[in-house]
Structure 1
Amino acid sequence: MDHLDPPGCCGADDQAATVGIGRRAVLLGAALGTGALAGLTVPGRAFAAPAIYNPFSGYPITGSWQEHLNRGSLGGVDFAMSVGTRLPACGAGTIQNIPYNGTGGHTVTIHHADGYRSQYMHLSQFLLGNGAAVSAGTVVGLSGGAAGAPGSGSSTGPHVHWHMINPAGVRINPLTYIGQPAPGGLPKTSTEQDGIPGTIFYRRMQNWLRLTAGYTGPIDGAPGPNTYAALQRAMRAYGYTGPIDGQPGPNTWRAVQRLAAGHGYTGPIDGVMGPNSWRGFARFLNQDRWN
């Protein structure tokens, strides 16, 4: 059994709760059925409830949601970046490419679970075929937006436009959906240096678990049973075989130490979390993809 109190637990419960695209690439998209897909549901795997993150937190916002609405757009957020920047998927789903999508230019749609969609506009190149299954962070295309370039649509300068669409077909602000202030994302945790987990460490852990392990509670840095149940699910990949009960003990923490061993931890796999174990875990959590 694995029911010991988690080390470092705060005790507070969480709530349940480019280059230009060539004619060949466009023809390939057409051959894959791109044009016909514009109004259809793309078949693919079923995923957990949509877990979305902001893959563009390191880029300046040059057009806010409200600014889009003010000029008559249905909504979107623009992030400035040079042409050819790799565009990671903001969440798991299946891909639909739409070449020359009106003012949006080359558009990639990620169909998430439960009828949600994310769209990136003004691409210079598609990288995946229609129906490809992706996880969060998979690169789905290259940014564009240079005025007059193929696939730029109405764009007047290099950037990517991002919006989401809810199951009712209404555009929604992705930054509001994920509850993340923009720009910036989560700060890095100092646990990587001092080996002492604190609020920022646990916020990053919760955000990682939200993106990968089905955690749906707040990103508040106060882990409780829902956070730790998600941690136990994530630790299946590192040898954890105990119950998913939200009460981590030595078996859970041994799996965490195996994860930490891939990020500089060289101590024993004994299920006793100390400063070096926490440092290794923190190096994993400080990766930009968990911002």
Structure 2
Amino acid sequence: MCETDHGVDRRTLLRGAAAGAVVLGGAAVGLGGALVVGDPAHASGFYNPFTAYPISDGWQAHLDRGSLGGIDYVMSVGTRLPACGGGTIQNIPYNGTGGHTVTIYHPNGYRTQYMHLSAFSLSNGASVGAGGIVGLSGGAAGAPGSGSSTGPHVHWHMINPSGVRINPLTYLASLGGTLPKTSTESDGIPGPIMWKRAQNWLRMEHGYTGPIDGVPGPNTYAALQRAMRGYGYTGPIDGVPGTQTWAAVQRLASHWGYTGPIDGVMGPNSWRGFARFLNQDRYDRIA
């Protein structure tokens, strides 16, 4: 995966195409070759990964000006783009007005497309799970890969098994817009699904406004610290968790089966108790 934007000009791209692969954003991009849909387990966990970003152009606005439809989310160039569901990657460099486009082929026959990217993060044919980073946003007017975009954003749409472009938010609504339960409750190992559920809980109840991407950072931790005021945390809301923050999390976990010490050192049993709290049905919905 790539966390930085490595610019690649069109000449370099075309030279790589002649060799059968190019590199964009630090990841090899194969051109051509058959796509093989990944393991069906990757299909779980469809969700909207862009809830924290404002919509500049909605589905109907696209249709009204003659587009086949899409949703534009405003975000700065280089923002990490999580997969809204698992599947297999196809990268399409310089995809006409859409610019650099990543397509995720989902095992249920649906496809997701993100357009106007500044970089790809995975190679063609790679499997990705829900929340995995597939590229970096772009859209700056005139920048390589921006296509017809006039400002930084990502364009998102889905294509159903009949080949018709559809509104992903309508699709998510039909699924109930839910997150899967985290296995941390049983194995005591915190992972992306647990953190997505934590971010969703913090979004619903404690003012978190970042993406539901399963990658905790300062915004996630600051919201966690706010939430932990109710469990004895008295330190600063600085997004840097320490033993006081984690001791408060253990106090929360103690209401959900954790029986260990309140020492601010998270271990498997602490994480299990926290995950039992997060696995409540009320924190499933994210749409």
TM range (shorter): 0.5 to 0.7
Return closer, same or farther for 1:285/1:85 CA change in 2, 3 Å cut-off: farther
2:284 & 2:100 partners in 1: Cα distance? 25
Instruction: Give the stretch that moved more between structures: 65-74 or 45-54.
Output: 45-54
Tell me whether 1:69 sits opposite 2:63 in the alignment: yes
- Read off the aligned partner of 1:264 and give its amino acid letter: V
Quote the residue 2:178 is aligned against.
Answer: 207
Given candidates 21, 36, 45, the residue that maps to 1:43 is: 36
Is residue 2:236 matched to residue 1:265? no
Distance 1:263 1:43 in 2: 46
* Contact kept in structure 1, 2:110 and 2:161, CA below 8 Å: yes
1:161 and 2:155 matched: yes
Q: Please list every run of 5 or more consecutive structure 1 residues that lacks an aligned counterpart in the other structure.
A: 1-17, 181-202, 214-230, 240-260
Aligned pairs, number: 203
Cα offset for 1:264? 3.2
The answer for the alignment partner of 2:192 in structure 1 is none
How far 1:285 moved relative to its partner?
6.1
Q: Could you tell me how far apart the structure 2 residues matched to 1:64 and 1:72 are? A: 13
CA contact (8 A) 1:98 1:108 kept: yes
Q: What letter is aligned with 1:107?
A: T
1:167 positional shift:
0.6
The answer to whether the Cα contact below 8 Å between 1:29 and 1:99 also exists between their aligned partners in 2 is no
Distance 2:159 2:102 in 1: 13
- The residue number in structure 2 matching 1:98 is 92
Q: 1:107 to 1:265 in 2, by over 3 A?
A: same
Amino acid at match of 1:36: G
Q: Name which of 140, 144, 147 aligns with 1:150.
A: 144
Percent identity reads: 53
CA contact (8 A) 1:105 1:122 kept: yes
Task: Give the equivalent residue in structure 1 for 2:126.
Answer: 132
Please give the secondary structure, in 1, of the residue aligned with 2:179.
Answer: helix
Query: For 2:121 and 2:44, how far apart are their aligned partners in 1?
Result: 22
1:21 matched residue in structure 2: 7
Counterpart pick for 1:174 among 151, 168, 175: 168
- TM-score normalised by the chain length of structure 1: 0.58
Contact 1:97 1:108 survives alignment (8 Å): yes
Q: Given residue 250 of structure 2, which amino acid in structure 1 is its aligned partner?
A: Y
- Which stretch has the larger CA shift, 171-180 or 89-98? 171-180
CA distance in 2, matches of 1:102, 1:116: 22
Q: Are the structure 2 counterparts of residues 63 and 263 from structure 1 closer, same or farther at C-alpha, using a change threshold of 3 Å? A: farther
Q: How far 1:208 sits from its partner (Å)?
A: 2.5
